[in-house]
Structure formats: structure tokens, C-alpha cells
Amino acid sequence: MRQQRKRRMEALAKAADTDSRIARALLAMSPTNGPAEDELDTGLSMLKGAAQAAPGDAEAAWYYARYCAGDDDCDATEATAALVALEPDNLDGWLLALQLAQKRGDEAGVAKALEGGAKARYFDQRSGDSFMRATRALADLPVSPACSTPDYAEFLRDVWKLERQPRAEDFAMAQGMIAAMNELRAYAPLREACSVTQVARLGAGRGKACRSVLERLSNGDLLIDRMIGETSMVELTAEAKDGEYWRERLRRTHWMSEQARFLKPDFDAGMRRWSEGEVPTMQSELAAVGKSLPPADWLPSSERARSLVLTGRPPNEKKPD
């Protein structure tokens, strides 16, 4: 597959359109056995070139800013500023700006990013986009003879939990998944900026901005987005009128997470989550086996999660006087 991928990259290099440039960069970062450091560097330089060649293209700006931010040796400050300028109404760019401001200890930058995020009208993190781009770029390539033997097919059936024979497109989807996994996100900066302590220190303005950002994050189509957003909202609303609402939402999200072990762990199901969205796919799969909602008395297995669901606070944290 590596040689076929190389030839496809050479073909994409001859095209001048932005989509081809992005696809070539993603393939550079998704060889069969995972990207080596020099391949990541090459992929990043390709994404930078795509963004520079199309300065008004939000897709190109997003790819370079997002992948650059996930590399410790890449300064994503200018790339993120360009992204936010192109998509001021998208929360995703502001979350990236917050991450970078928090990293450099810039409190004013954190506040600006939260204020921008609070005004955002939508949250498009392009979930599954890199997966689909890389998969499409490789989908029509023939499978090498080494990957077509009966022994290797049996190996893949076991590893990928397949109930059928492997197909050529399976190899493309596996590499697409690797490309998507290189797209890293950091949630700790948002958790810190919107912690109960920080909101109490900085006042109502910080609390209002955090609530707006976290509510939108809580409706994302990735399970971790919902878990992070709802956990923070539970902590911030422990004494508020809507605290019960957020605790129930968090309980249901933990239910979804813990019931995942009952879902079929096969390759096809995993690929649907990448291509159609993790939360929507899991919700439909749980509905199909009668596990959409938790029983009324169900609680998460984690002590911390149980405490948050029951009280809005982590264990051993007393209610304020």
C-alpha cells in the first residue's frame, strides 16, 4: 500500500487545487504503519503551502492551524489568527486560539478567545473530514499482492473484527483513520479557563462566556466534546437552577460511554463513527439494542463521575457555606 500511496501523492502534487494539496498532505502523514517524524514535518509543510496558496480558503487555513497546533515544534499563532479571521462565527477556531493563549500564559488572550467563542454561532470542528479526504484519495487504488493472500486476509478479519472478507476500500479507510488521529485537540486549557475557581475569581463576565462556549461544546458530535462540556457545566451549575438538567445530561453521556462495550467492535462500525459522527452513530446503535437511555437509578461506575452526577461536585469537595 505504501508504494501505491506514494504514486497517488505524486499524482496529487501535479494538481494545483486546494483539495488536492490537502489530500496529499494527509497522505504524507498516514502511511500504513503510522507516520514517522519526518513524514509529519513534510505533511505540515504541505498544509502550510496549501494555506499560503489559498489565503482566503477557510478549509486550508483550518487544516494548517489545527495540525500545526498539535506539533510542539510548529508555532500556530499566525495560522490560528488567519483561521479566526476567516471563520469568526465558528467556535472551533476560538478554542484553538484559547489553547495557544493558555500555553503562552496570556490571560488577555484567553479572555479574548473566550469572548470570541461566546459570540460564535456554530461549532464546526470538521469531524471526520480528514478521514473522508484521505479515504477518497486512496479508495480506487489496487491492493498490493502481499495484502491479498488468504493468510493476510484472515489476519485482518481477526484484527479488524470483520465478519466478511477484507475489501480494497478497507485499506484506504484504515489509512484515513490514521490521518484523522494526527488531528490533535487539547481540552485542558478550556477546562482550566472555565474552572469554578477561575470563574469565581474573574466574575460574572467570565462565567457567562464560559457557559456559552461550554453549552455549544456539549452539543458536539464527538463523545469527548460532550463529556468535557457537560462536566464543566455540571461544576459551574452546582448551585444554579439548571444544575439538575446538566447533571442528567452528564449521566446520559456516561451511560452512552459505558454501554459502548456492548456495541459491535468491528471495523465497519468503527468506520461509520469516523464518517458519520461518533455520537449520532453510537446513539443509533444503542437504540437498536434497546439501550438508548439509562435506567432511572443508574449511576456511572467512576466515583468522581457519580459524585458529579449526584451533587455537581467532585468527591470530598464540600458544599460552600
Q: Report if pTM > 0.85.
A: yes
Q: What is the pLDDT of residue 1?
A: 60
Q: Is the pLDDT of residue 15 over 70?
A: yes
- Higher local confidence (pLDDT), 1 or 165: 165
Q: Is the pLDDT of residue 177 over 90?
A: no
Residue-wise pLDDT for 219-262, tens only, equals: 998 999 999 999 999 999 999 999 999 999 999 999 999 998 77
Q: Which residue, 58, 307, 69, is CA-closest to 189? A: 69
C-alpha dist (Å) from residue 97 to 112, 115, 208, 273:
9, 11, 19, 27
Q: What is the pLDDT of residue 128?
A: 82
Cα(43)–Cα(68) distance, rounded to whole angstroms?
A: 10
Cα(191)–Cα(193) distance, rounded to whole angstroms?
A: 6
> For the residues 138-150, what does the mean pLDDT come to?
78
Cα(36)–Cα(41) distance, rounded to whole angstroms?
A: 9
> For the residues 286-312, what does the mean pLDDT come to?
95
User: Residue 99's pLDDT band (boundaries 50, 70, 90)?
Assistant: very high
77-86 vs 91-103: helix crossing angle, rounded to 10: 160
> In terms of DSSP H, where are the helices of the chain?
2-13, 18-28, 37-53, 58-69, 77-86, 91-103, 107-119, 129-138, 150-159, 168-181, 188-193, 196-202, 204-217, 223-236, 243-259, 267-276, 278-288, 303-311
> For the residues 288-314, what does the mean pLDDT come to?
95
Residue-wise pLDDT for 37-86, tens only, equals: 666 668 899 999 999 999 999 999 999 999 999 888 999 999 999 999 99
Phi, psi of 194 (to 5 degrees): -110, 25
Q: Please, are residues 233 and 211 in contact by the beta-carbon 8 Å criterion?
A: yes
Q: Please, are residues 197 and 102 in contact by the beta-carbon 8 Å criterion?
A: no
